[in-house]
Amino acid sequence: MARPNGAAPLTVLFLVVLIDMIGFTLVIPFLTYFVQDLATGDGFSDVGARDRWVGIVLASYTLGQFLFTPLLGSLSDRFGRRPILMFGLASNTVFLIVFGLASTLWMALIARFLAGAGNGNIAVTRAYIGDISDRGQLPGRMGMIGAAFGLGFMIGPLLGGVLTDPASALGGPFATDWWAAHPYFLPCLLAGILSLVSLILAIRMLPESLPESERKAQPKSSGLRRVVSNLIGIKDLTPVVRRLIFTNATFLLAFTMMHATFILFTALPVEDGGLGYDERMNGYIFAYVGLVGVMVQGGLIRPLSKRFDVRSLMMIGTVLTATGLGWIPYLEPTPLTIGLIVMTFIAAGNGLFQPSQSSLLTTEARDSGIDLGRVMGAQEGFGALSRIIGPIFAAFIWAETVDGTGVWTYHTVFRVAGLIAIMSVLIQFGIKQPSTNSEAIGDV
């Protein structure tokens, strides 16, 4: 079987990742309000108990991915990339729509978990690109995945915010009792339709990339065993590689704590210290975050990495993010400019941190003669744990302090997130700049 070539497979893969990210980020502006409504309907009248479910539902998607993506990756090694990508797109289509129709907390929780469990598309997409690319093509094609991430993070929250509550916001054909009773269904329906279109395109235009002769009949380790092996195997890596992996995990812990509680804060009434934002306003804010991320990673990071060493960029990014996280609860409804500055700190900091850390890790692994797949597996494993723990940890802190006074108030969770980000800065001390900076950003 000849390996696929040309623009068509890459275009379809770009759409697969873009739609994955739209589906994942589309829920950000309204998930907090949706879960609050479901929790209230299920009898959780206490604000803290109600808001605790926001972090749990948010983390359920990542938990599903954490447990099942290694299994899907192994199955793609055995049966080919194409059928696993099809399965992920079909899973996306079904469970996005089911989530939009959820009428209880458990239905929402199970739908998000199963959506994550069935969707290993990003990992399998990377494997597909590796199958069809030579060494010279690989950086540019992997960069395409990063571009899809950034665009998805811009488009998803914007659609989620604008399309929420269409009975009131859009009117016309949506001005019915049914749409009024299902205010969060339209953005989920649109995401499901986009996923279905992507599935149809993949069926028609995406050939298999892994020849049968190269498939593994029985992988040495698969599923959860591979996850555990990646986590335990960190002890055999070099001190600098371990430090870089822990730096990333700590940074992600702080960053995902903000994801879980930012809208809990902005949705608070102004008289209670919040900003009084609705779903649409939060959609605009997160779309702005995505735009800043695209500008930094797509336009600024290369020239900056030529002027400054990559280790410094990573540290500056972490400090900017820590400053923004700690600043959040002190925002006022006006002026909006101050809020945008804070979100710029967070988005630009993340945009500097992610590629710099990945480049340092790749360079250090190569210089130390360590298998890159093993290093990235360990990084992904610890990063996934942070993305699971962060929202739940933040939601529980919020639940215990939102009605507090004195030191322990809704400010606490953002202070803790900022301190954890500063811990990430402290872990970075001792990491030396690689002797060659030429392959630091964009050339890895």
Phi-psi region of 172 (alpha: psi -120 to 50; beta: other; left: phi over 0): left
Average pLDDT, the chain: 84
Q: How confident is the model at residue 322 (pLDDT cuts 50, 70, 90)?
A: very high
Looking at the predicted structure, is the pLDDT value of residue 153 above 50?
Answer: yes
Higher pLDDT among residues 423 and 151, named by residue: 423
Interval 197-205 mean pLDDT: 85
Assigned CATH for 233-429: 1.20.1250.20
Position 206, amino acid: L
Please give the pLDDT value at position 103: 92
For residue range 219-228, what is the model confidence (pLDDT) as tens digits? 555 556 766 7
Please give the pLDDT value at position 139: 57
Query: In whole angstroms, what is the distance from residue 50 CA to residue 37 CA?
Result: 9
Closest to 188 (Cα-Cα) out of 57, 90, 108, 99: 99
For residue range 226-255, what is the model confidence (pLDDT) as tens digits? 667 767 777 778 888 889 999 999 999 999
Q: What percent of the chain is modeled with pLDDT above 90? A: 35
Higher pLDDT among residues 37 and 299, named by residue: 37
Highest mean pLDDT among 97-111, 288-302, 394-408: 97-111
DSSP H/E element including 102? none
DSSP state at residue 406 = T
Looking at the predicted structure, is the pLDDT value of residue 128 above 90?
Answer: no
Interval 39-49 mean pLDDT: 86
Closest to 264 (Cα-Cα) out of 116, 41, 57: 57
Does the CA dihedral 138-347-255-152 come out positive or negative? negative
Fold of 8-143+163-205: Growth Hormone; Chain: A; (1.20.1250)
Query: In whole angstroms, what is the distance from residue 177 CA to residue 18 CA?
Result: 33
Please give the pLDDT value at position 35: 92
DSSP state at residue 173 = G
**Domains 8-143+163-205 and 233-429 alike in fold:** yes
Question: Helix, strand or coil for residue 182?
Answer: coil
Residues 313, 352: contact at Cβ < 8 Å?
yes
Residues 253, 389: contact at Cβ < 8 Å?
yes
Residues 339, 331: contact at Cβ < 8 Å?
yes
pTM above 0.75, yes or no: yes
Looking at the predicted structure, is the pLDDT value of residue 323 above 60?
Answer: yes
- Domain extents in the chain: 8-143+163-205, 233-429
Query: In whole angstroms, what is the distance from residue 195 CA to residue 24 CA?
Result: 11
Please give the pLDDT value at position 180: 93
Closest to 287 (Cα-Cα) out of 34, 25, 19: 25
Query: In whole angstroms, what is the distance from residue 101 CA to residue 179 CA?
Result: 11
Interval 282-290 mean pLDDT: 91
